[in-house]
Structure formats: C-alpha cells, structure tokens
Amino acid sequence: MLKNDLVVRAARGERTERTPVWLMRQAGRFDPAYRAIREQADMPLESLFCHAELAAEISLLPKKFGVDAIIFFQDILTPLAPMGARFVFRPGPVLETPIRTTRDVQALRSFDPVAELGFVPDTLRRVRAALAGDLPLLGFAGAPLTLAFFLIEGRSPGECPEHAFAMMRSEPALFRRLLDRLADMTADYLLMQIEAGVDAVQLFESCADLLTPEQYREFALPYHVKIFSALSTDVPTILFAKEQPMSELLVGCGADMISLGGRVDLADAKRRFEHRVAFQGNVDNRLLVEGPIDEIQRAVRACIEAGGHTGHILNLNHGLLANTPVEHVQCLVDTCRTTIIGSPSARVGDPSRDREGAEA
C-alpha cells in the first residue's frame, strides 16, 4: 500500500486533499547532485542508463524536494537498441545509420524486453525497495512518432526534421509500417514496467509540437490508441503530447490522464472534458527558469485553482530545463504542497459514483 497515493488517485480522476506534484525531468541536469553522480561515474550516458544501481540512485534524487511521485531515470530511446538502432550520446543522441528505407525498417528486430532490457526492471525494483511505499513510482516510454523521428533523423529531430517529414509525405505506407512496429514494441515495454511494479505509466509524444492537427490525427493518435488499448490494466495511464493545442484530439487516445501544454487553458479543458479524462500540467517551464519567485507562486496557485484538487496533477508544460535554479524547483513544490483551495468538486467521471459517494 502506498503511504502517499495522491498522484495515482488524481490520475484516476479522484478528488485529492491537495493537488499532487511531480516534474518531468525532475532527476536531471538542473540538480547539482545529479551532475556530481555523472562526474563521479565518468561513463557515457547510454552506459549510465544501463547501470541499475546508479540509475536507481538518480531516480530517487528528487525525493528531497517533496515531490509526490518518482519517475525512473532512463531515456525514451533505450528500447530502440535491441531493435538494432543503438543511440549513443555525444553529448546529444546519435544513431550511426538512420532508418530511411524499406530495407532499414524491415531490418528492425522484435525482441523480448525482459531478456534484452533486464536493467530496466532491475532499476525499478531497486527504486521500489528504496521507496518502501512512501511514493508511487512512474514508468514511461516514448511514443511511436517521436521515436520514428529520432530514428529517421539519426539524432534529436529539432524543429525541422526534414527526413522524417519527407518519409511521411512521400512514403506514408512505409512510415505507418515503422509506427506499427514501434507501437507493438512500446506496448510490450510498458507492460514489462507494469509487471515490475510501477504505479502509473506515461507515454511521451515529445514531437507533438511539430505536427499540424491533421498530421497528429493521422500519424500519432492511432498509435496512442493502440498502445493504451494494449495496456488495459488497473495502472493509470498518462499521455504527454508536447504543446499539442487540440485537447479534443488528446482526450480520445484512451489514456486516463492528459498532460496539457502551455497553450491550453486548464480550466476550459476541465469544463469540456473532465467527464472523460483527468489532467496534468501546465506551469511554464521557462517561468521556472526565469522567475521571479512571486511569479512562480502565482502561476502555481492559478494552476491549482483551475485544477480544483480533482483529477489534476501539477506539472510543467514540458521538462525541467538544464538552467533551472534549484530554489525555483523547491519553490514550485512547496507552493503546491501548501496551496489548498475551497470546496473542490467531487470525483471526475461517472456522475452516479458522485451520488453514491454523497449518499454514503
């Protein structure tokens, strides 16, 4: 049993005593403790991901800030290596031979995640043991389109992944074949994490901001649906689609919770869709870099007010940036933990459940 189950309950759409908080990239470059571990380990990043003991130690670092969940330290590109596409970090991700032809796609291998990626459940078990039920543990994976963009470009896609868009336009059948392969792999990878004991999982569509709504509808959404349908467990699921403004597209993916970008009004999204999904977000990660403290506090309180302590996890519109001051992170977490608004609404979801709860 979890001693702090706020994140899990919020992801299921429930009312919580206060709004829970965790932050994407909360175990990362902004934290001097993380940088010290990296310096002492003196190994390439791709090797650090495979080192279960160090990965678990890094995963646990954000506990000191008072976050309400731990997400394990790993990269979205990790499961591509057993497929035959191993990225190295020099310092950003680099793939020696990008995937751009029919032969390249056909050469990608299927694999058993437990056999090929045993360090992942090993890391998760170590983190769970250290947490001893204090906090929920979150698993995650990259979404198919984002992984495809990395594979085709052979590096971080940036703002203009020309090779990926070229395949999308000129060879859509091949592009879909690649997405299908990646969706199957991702579902198996997340199921392995669930078997290892994670309390919720998040799917990262980190290239969603590069897509038009039409492209998102055709090349991203169907594969989200496929993955979340394959999971169908009691473990809550979250979709993060970076700065995709069309919330009506997101809510149809099959996830229990949608992470909103900065261009979406949380209060409006809750009014329109809270009967279908819960929400995560959406404080601006750049504000957390720039401050000042009083502006961060105002943004956090406004976000909590919009979320109403019901079906809402406080998070950022994207991950923590490397130059984020540690004291700004602590300010955000402390403000969230101490902000209580009056008379939050009842449970998100089936109205009959609300009536049953009231009558009880």
- pLDDT tens-place string over residues 115-128: 999 999 999 999 99
Quick one: 120 and 259 in the same domain?
Answer: no
Number of structural domains (the chain) is 2
Strands 257-259 and 237-241: parallel
Q: Residue 290 sits in which domain range?
A: 1-21+255-353
pLDDT at residue 349, rounded to an integer = 38
Quick one: 211 and 274 in the same domain?
Answer: no
Quick one: 283 and 230 in the same domain?
Answer: no
CB of 186 closer than 8 Å to CB of 205: no
Map the chain to HEC letters. CCCCCHHHHHHCCCECCCCCECCCCCCCCCCHHHHHHHHHHCCCHHHHHCCHHHHHHHHHHHHHHCCCCEECCCCCCHHHHHHCCCCEECCCEECCCCCCCHHHHHHCCCCCHHHHCCHHHHHHHHHHHHHCCCCCEEEEEECHHHHHHHHHHCECCCCCCHHHHHHHHHCHHHHHHHHHHHHHHHHHHHHHHHHCCCCEEEEEECCHHHCCHHHHHHHCHHHHHHHHHHHCCCCCEEEEECCCCCHHHHCCCCCCEEECCCCCCHHHHHHHHCCCCEEECCECHHHHHHCCHHHHHHHHHHHHHHHCCECEEECECCCCCCCCCHHHHHHHHHHHHHCCCCCCCCCCCCHHHHHHHHHC
Quick one: 4 and 43 in the same domain?
Answer: no
Quick one: 104 and 145 in the same domain?
Answer: yes
Quick one: 116 and 39 in the same domain?
Answer: yes
Quick one: 279 and 221 in the same domain?
Answer: no
Quick one: 17 and 112 in the same domain?
Answer: no
Residue 154 located in a structural domain: yes
Quick one: 266 and 285 in the same domain?
Answer: yes
Which tokens sit at 308? Answer: 């109403």
Residue 244 located in a structural domain: no
Q: What is the pLDDT of residues 63-111, one digit of tens each?
A: 999 999 999 999 999 999 999 999 999 999 999 999 999 999 999 999 9
CATH number at residue 95: 3.20.20.210
Residue 331 located in a structural domain: yes
Q: What is the pLDDT of residues 283-316, one digit of tens each?
A: 999 999 999 999 999 999 999 999 999 999 999 9
Quick one: 51 and 17 in the same domain?
Answer: no
Residue 115 located in a structural domain: yes
Quick one: 323 and 339 in the same domain?
Answer: yes
Residue 246 located in a structural domain: no
- Give the pLDDT band (50/70/90) at residue 359: very low
pLDDT at residue 274, rounded to an integer = 87
Residue 37 located in a structural domain: yes
155 has pLDDT over 50 = yes
- Give the pLDDT band (50/70/90) at residue 160: confident
Q: What is the pLDDT of residues 3-52, one digit of tens each?
A: 999 999 999 999 999 999 999 999 999 999 999 999 999 999 999 999 99
Residue 247 located in a structural domain: no
Which tokens sit at 217? Answer: 């509808």
Quick one: 96 and 205 in the same domain?
Answer: yes
Residue 360 located in a structural domain: no
